[in-house]
Amino acid sequence: MSAILDAKIPEGPLEKKWTIHKESLKTVSPANRKKMHIIVVGTGLAGASAAAALGEQGYRVNVFCMSDSPRRAHSVSAQGGINAAKNYRNDNDSVRRLFLDTLQGGDYRSREANVYRLAQVSNAIIDHCVALGVPFARDYAGYLDNRSFGGAQVSRTFYARGQTGQQLLLAVYSSLNRQVAAGNVTVHSREQMMDLVTENGQARGIMTRDMVTGRINAYPAHAVVLATGGYGNVYYLSTNAKHSNGSALVQCWKKGAFFANPSFVQIHPTCIPVHGEYQSKLTLMSESLRNEGRIWVPTRKEDVLALREGKIKPSDIPEERRDYYLERRYPSYGNLVPRDVASRAARERCDAGFGVGKTGRAVFLDLSGAIAKDGKACIESKYGNLFQIYEKITGDDPWKEPMQIYPAIHYTMGGLWVDYNLMTTVKGLYAIGEANFSDHGANRLGASALMQGLADGLFILPYTISDYLAGKIGEPCPDTATPPFVQVRGDVQKRIDRIMALKGNVPVDVFHRELGNMMWEHAGIAKSAEGLSSLISRLGALEERFRNEAGITGSQATVNQELEKAIHLEDYFTLAGLMVQDALHREESCGSHFRIESQTKDGETLRDDDRFQYVAAWEYKGQAEAPLLYREPLVYEETRMTERKYI
């Protein structure tokens, strides 16, 4: 039996925990805040909002982003919306209902107290974003509009056309800009975190690489906040932006931060299907389309064949020869089942030979009914940009024939383990947003990523980090000439030299694509002990080939995108190994983690609460040794766990 982790969940009834806890947290006086230095890595919703909120309080904040501007962060790609328990539709929504939906959506593998807190602060997020000038969709009377998302029977999702993420990030990036102008925040763009500097188990600062000059820079701080997003790009093809990577997570893991539930990876059901070898990424079609769209495949194989041969069009197939399989299998939620359920159902139909498209790995998302009912203008005002994206990528006109979609890697629920204060197992190192594992359990509900990023950044971290910093008053900011910094600087330089010395002629992309294919095949929608075990040796062999055959051209003293890719790929190998290990150990199915050995007779996930009702947190034990498992038991004080049913 491995050691147990303490999440430091406060005592008291669920509704009161956060309030009681906040009151117990120490604060720092305004005069002292000016002397406290905080590093925030990443400028997505979590990072930018945290940096702005900390700057507003008067802390000295250094912010890092890999892009040319903080505004490029991948949060901008979120299309559909952000959840909150406002109950503006009078459909009996409440904090408790949002909490329960999120907990159930995560298949009871998230921490009850954290999820409750998330639901509690959700309403203040909407208030703040409206105050910052987010042009949310409104009805004719001027009230905020809502739409529905998967895993909920209420309408609680706020949105700004198909650009909700972009608009929210623009708002908090503007707040960040205001703090830059005020002199509280400094932004370091085109600068990539290369390592965490620790001393006596405490975070002291970070080492970065300037991506333009290649210079290695040391930055000291009293506390470090990681807001670097997820690691879905392990799979090469995903909906993630190309710069999204897991490197900062791996660096921190190797410095003592435990990694929780690494195998919990969300697969989004509505993406444009893979169509070619050269493809660099997959594009999401917002889940909001499932509000009005119906998902189907033909019921007859001859129709499948005729479609593939181009003899008929989808619209030629009459109603009675269409299988609206989500409506058939899940009558009460229909097309709005959670993402993992919809993804597996699509795969099941395609495996059974009913998949459409050139490759047979696609299903139809059909909005023709909605277009006929509400008119093209109405649908265009809601989803116009999505139709345009689809047409540009596929060359097909989605107004005439239904879209083809297929599941793709989208979001990682796993991440650095954090306690109730969002602190990792390294003192003074915090992880927020997608970078931590906290609130989504084994599956995240749609429109909850934006909510969690902003909840962490605006209303949770600024309180909890002050409690830690209160214990650092009078302590000077660490000196970068001291041994811990000198040592890490040397390590980073050695690593870059080692990569630059790769002497082959095979591009890094080739290995990355191969890694992705392998992981998608055996650690994707469905996983088995056999497939996962086979990955272990194949991963090792691929990494070996990478070391022998990869080539990096150019110099390290200038922009070198091949070097950047190679750095990330090394870390993806580390992550892939960890993900496989975690997936192998969790011999149950829950949420997005589907072990074929553990399913009901209807093919649904089968949890094993007796054995696996815990968070699996892994400690790095060195390159040559297997990581060590710690468990955080999940105790549901006030929630009755049920079988997750969407029928």
Q: Among all residues, which ones are annotated catalytic?
A: 339
283 binds other proteins (CB under 8 A): yes
135 binds other proteins (CB under 8 A): yes
166 binds other proteins (CB under 8 A): yes
Alpha-carbon distance of 641 to 350, in angstroms, equals 32
241 binds other proteins (CB under 8 A): yes
Strand order across the 614-619 sheet: 415-416, 259-260, 614-619, 628-633
553 binds other proteins (CB under 8 A): yes
Cβ at position 553, least distance to other proteins in Å:
5
Instruction: State the maximum Cα–Cα separation within the chain, in Å, rounded to a whole number.
Output: 77
Site residues for other proteins, window 438-467 (CB under 8 A)? Answer: 458-459, 462
What percent helix, strand, coil does the chain show, rounded to 5?
40, 15, 40
Taking the least distance from each CB to other proteins, the nearer of 160 and 346 is: 160
> x/- site string to other proteins, residues 507 to 546, per CB under 8 A?
xxxx------------------------------------
Cβ at position 279, least distance to other proteins in Å:
7
Instruction: Determine the residue type at 317.
Output: I
For 30, the token pair is 């305004």
Which H helix or E strand runs over 175? helix 164-181
Taking the least distance from each CB to other proteins, the nearer of 166 and 534 is: 166
Interface residue with other proteins among 32, 94, 155, 174 (CB under 8 A) is 174
Cβ at position 124, least distance to other proteins in Å:
7
* C-alpha dist (Å) from residue 440 to 100, 208, 526, 590: 12, 30, 19, 12
Residue 43: count of CB within 10 angstroms of its CB: 31
Taking the least distance from each CB to other proteins, the nearer of 243 and 427 is: 243
Contact 191, 478 (CB under 8 A): no
Cβ at position 377, least distance to other proteins in Å:
13
For 294, the token pair is 């119906």
Cβ at position 388, least distance to other proteins in Å:
7
Q: Which stretch binds other proteins (CB under 8 A): 67-75, 89-97, 438-446, 591-599?
A: 67-75
559 binds other proteins (CB under 8 A): yes
Taking the least distance from each CB to other proteins, the nearer of 182 and 541 is: 182
Cβ at position 369, least distance to other proteins in Å:
25
| The residue to which tokens 């023709």 are assigned | 368
| The residue to which tokens 């169509």 are assigned | 275
Taking the least distance from each CB to other proteins, the nearer of 72 and 97 is: 72
Query: Residues 79, 41, 580, 535: is their CA dihedral positive or negative?
Result: positive
* C-alpha dist (Å) from residue 472 to 202, 481, 636: 12, 20, 34
Site residues for other proteins, window 259-278 (CB under 8 A)? Answer: 275-276, 278
DSSP symbol at 479: P
Backbone angles phi, psi at 518, to 5 degrees: -60, -45
Site residues for other proteins, window 194-223 (CB under 8 A)? Answer: 212
For 195, the token pair is 């390592």
506 binds other proteins (CB under 8 A): yes
Taking the least distance from each CB to other proteins, the nearer of 198 and 238 is: 238
Contact 446, 151 (CB under 8 A): yes
Report how far Cα 537 is from the mean position of its chain's Cα atoms. 28
393 binds other proteins (CB under 8 A): yes
395 binds other proteins (CB under 8 A): yes
Interface residue with other proteins among 9, 144, 371, 470 (CB under 8 A) is 144
For 329, the token pair is 């299998």
178 binds other proteins (CB under 8 A): yes
Site residues for other proteins, window 71-130 (CB under 8 A)? Answer: 71-74, 76-77, 86, 88, 124, 126-128, 130
